[in-house]
Amino acid sequence: MNIGQAAKQSGLPPKTIRYYEEIGLVVADRAENGYRDYSANHVHRLNFIHRSRDLGFSVEECRLLLSLYDDDARESAEVKALATAKIAEIDEKLARLAGLKAALQHLADHCHGDHRPDCPILEELSSGSCCN
């Protein structure tokens, strides 16, 4: 199948598929005319990468996950370690976002939001003391 068909089946844009091929995550076959030729296995790998990326794994983490997927001698402990590390990373991001939300909520709560020009939000932002 051509890249357009692979894109439809995987839900990835052709540009992304070309990028994944460029960095070696997926290596398409070549038809006699030189065009990329994708098999069902290629689409399966593209779906695997797509789902992995949706779960927050980096391209390099996807590369590692694919290598583990391809390794029949893998230990599930390796895969679980990657997943738990990603969960810890997500928890850190959530904590940072909660802190940012609290800081912004505090600023919004102290802003009158009326016709007057004075604004505690802008004052805090200009002082550089907020959100640290």
Let me know whether 65 and 125 are in one domain. Answer: no
| pLDDT classification of 130: cutoffs 50, 70, 90 | low
Let me know whether 114 and 83 are in one domain. Answer: yes
Which pLDDT value is given to residue 132? 52
As for how many domains the chain has, the answer is 2
Let me know whether 35 and 62 are in one domain. Answer: yes
Domain containing 58 — which CATH number? 1.10.1660.10
Let me know whether 130 and 83 are in one domain. Answer: yes
User: Of 50, 72, 94, at which residue does a domain stop?
Assistant: 72
Let me know whether 43 and 85 are in one domain. Answer: no
Q: CB–CB of 27/21 below 8 Å?
A: yes
Which pLDDT value is given to residue 131? 57
Let me know whether 46 and 101 are in one domain. Answer: no
> Averaging pLDDT over each range in 12-21, 26-35, 122-131, which range is the top one?
12-21
State pTM to two decimals. 0.79
SS (H, E, C) the chain: CCHHHHHHHHCCCHHHHHHHHHCCCCCCEECCCCCEECCHHHHHHHHHHHHHHHCCCCHHHHHHHHHHHHCCCCCHHHHHHHHHHHHHHHHHHHHHHHHHHHHHHHHHHCCCCCCCCCCHHHHHHHHCCCCC
Q: Which domain holds residue 111?
A: 75-132
